[in-house]
Chains A and B, each alone.
Chain A
Amino acid sequence: MIALAALIRRDIRIALRVGGGALIGVLFFLTVTVLMPFAIGPDLALLTRLGPAILWLGALLASLLTLDRLFTSDHDDGSLDLIVMGRTPLELACAAKALAHWLAAGLPLVIATPVLGLLLNLDAAATAAVALTLLVGTPALTFTGMIGAALAVTLHRGGLLLAVLVLPLSIPVLIFGVAASQAAISGPLSFGTPFSILCALSLVSFVIGPFAAAASLRHGLD
């Protein structure tokens, strides 16, 4: 337990300090959202309708881009080998790393959502709905993305390969995240149904992600 807490504290500290670059994800999120009106026009009514989808896509891409950092820097300086060989079960260590990564890179996206909601002309209730779905959904993105990150680091390939592997797996989260936000804004469905499925997807990813990532690290690192 102490080891895991130390691991989480260390990862967050590294991510937030100079060279960590966790907050670049938020900047990217902001930039993507600002680009959207240039592509589809400054029609506020249209932006309101597309708002949840734009925010979800932006958050998805932002969390995808920061995934590379989850294992590579540790692999480069050798601490990943220590974690793999350590006495703490690798699955728990992977879960701790993913949690730290989400706290440093995923949570800021959720916090930034209200500001971006203003730019897209979303009212308070809609912004709250999107922020709430992102709060529940982004951990699922991090935990499933961790599988791709672990594969990429064992193969010494990142970037596009990681994106190609991870994006299809994130389709369910995207579907239910946007569906729950839309349901809260315009109906006709109740917010509860897609939202609970989104929670379920996150819980499932908490189980699958660490095991698959740990298996890939164990089999792949030499």
Chain B
Amino acid sequence: MTLLDLANPTKFLSLTARVLPWLAGATAILLLIGLYQSAMAPDDYQQRATVKIMFIHVPNAWLSMFVWGVMSLSALGTLVWRHPLADVAAKAAAPIGAAFTFLALVTGSLWGKPMWGTYWEWDARLTSVLILFLMYLGLIALWRAVDDPSRAARAAAILTLVGAINLPIIKFSVDWWNTLHQPASVMRMGGPSLDKAFLIPLLVMALGFSLLFVTLHLAAMRNEILRRRVRALQMMQASQQAA
């Protein structure tokens, strides 16, 4: 079973139909274990119980960037290898990535209220994640603006790759801008190395969320394939009626 075999949507559908229940089950188990461990983790001496937001926040933030990476690979698949499922993968990933980014922003904001005293701070990290969110939304807008999926796919692929080049530049610029405007930032994350009591639940949650992404992504790809079939059938029917 190679990547080329998966180029056949029917094979892809039958394979994912077998794999998906297992993936979903593993995701549920891992997330349950992770949530239990997070709930049992000790309170931080400074941040008290609010530190537990981290177990949700950090995996989402990781995935927000990881999903753009997945979309960039799919974009290469669309433009270079012309893999028939690459644009399906890219299209299905965009809303999921936007959702993870949104969750990272919301949990970060909820964490910021007790810690920094404000829901929003023009901190370098927050700002660049917000821009990432805007770029996800722009990409989704591009997908939705065109009705022909293959045309939209190539345009979206180019935009995804340009975004992949630009995101580090934007991140660097925002860091620079931030240090210029507010040298004493409220808080730096990840400075001290994490204690094991926090690290293990965090890693379990990160793995659980990654599996959640894979599960949702495969399911969304299935939906997208089926949606395209329905569309093709409707077009066929319409052209038959016209004839």
Contact = CB atoms under 8 A, between A and B. Distances in A.
Nearest to B134: A168
Nearest to A201: B169
A116 B155 CA distance: 38
Interface in B119-146: 131, 134-135, 137-138, 141-142, 145-146
Contacts of B184: none
Contacts of A179: 176-177, 180
Interface string A153-177: 0110100010011001101100110
B159 A155 contact: no
Given A189-B180, A219-B79, A157 B170 contact: no
* Interface footprint category on A: 20 to 34
A92 interface: no
27 contacts: A147-B159, A151-B142, A151-B158, A154-B151, A155-B142, A155-B155, A157-B145, A161-B145, A164-B138, A164-B141, A165-B141, A165-B159, A169-B166, A171-B170, A172-B166, A172-B170, A172-B172, A172-B173, A175-B173, A175-B174, A175-B176, A176-B173, A179-B180, A212-B161, A216-B154, A216-B158, A220-B151
B169 A168 contact: no
B106 interface: no
Residue among B79, B155, B161 with the highest chain A CB neighbour number at 10 A: B155
A161 B158 contact: no
B162 interface: yes
Interface of A: 147, 151, 154-155, 157, 161, 164-165, 168-169, 171-172, 175-176, 179, 189, 194, 197, 201, 204, 208, 212, 215-216, 219-220, 222
In the A-B complex, the 4 residue pairs with the closest CB atoms: A172-B173, A219-B154, A175-B177, A175-B173
Contact of B138 (A147, A165, A171, A189): A165
B27 to A, nearest CB: 32
A151 B146 contact: no
Contacts of A165: 138, 141-142, 159
Nearest to B162: A212
Contacts of B163: 169
A164 to B, nearest CB: 5
Contacts of A155: 142, 145-146, 151-152, 155
A178 to B, nearest CB: 9
B169 to A, nearest CB: 5
B19 interface: no
Q: What is the interface of chain B mostly: helix, strand, loop, or mixed?
A: helix
Given A164-B141, A216-B154, A151 B180 contact: no
A70 to B, nearest CB: 16
Interface string B162-192: 1101100110111011001000000000000
Nearest to B156: A151
Contacts of B151: 154-155, 220, 222
B131 to A, nearest CB: 5
B138 A168 contact: yes
A147 B158 contact: yes
Contacts of B161: 212
B158 A212 contact: yes
Residue among A157, A169, A220 with the highest chain B CB neighbour number at 10 A: A169
B162 A208 contact: yes
B184 to A, nearest CB: 15
A164 B155 CA distance: 14
B159 A151 contact: yes
A154 B155 CA distance: 8
A216 B155 contact: yes
Nearest to A166: B138
Contacts of A212: 158, 161-162
Nearest to B157: A219
Contacts of B162: 147, 169, 208, 212
A93 B166 CA distance: 23
Contacts of B172: 172
B243 to A, nearest CB: 24
A199 B25 CA distance: 53
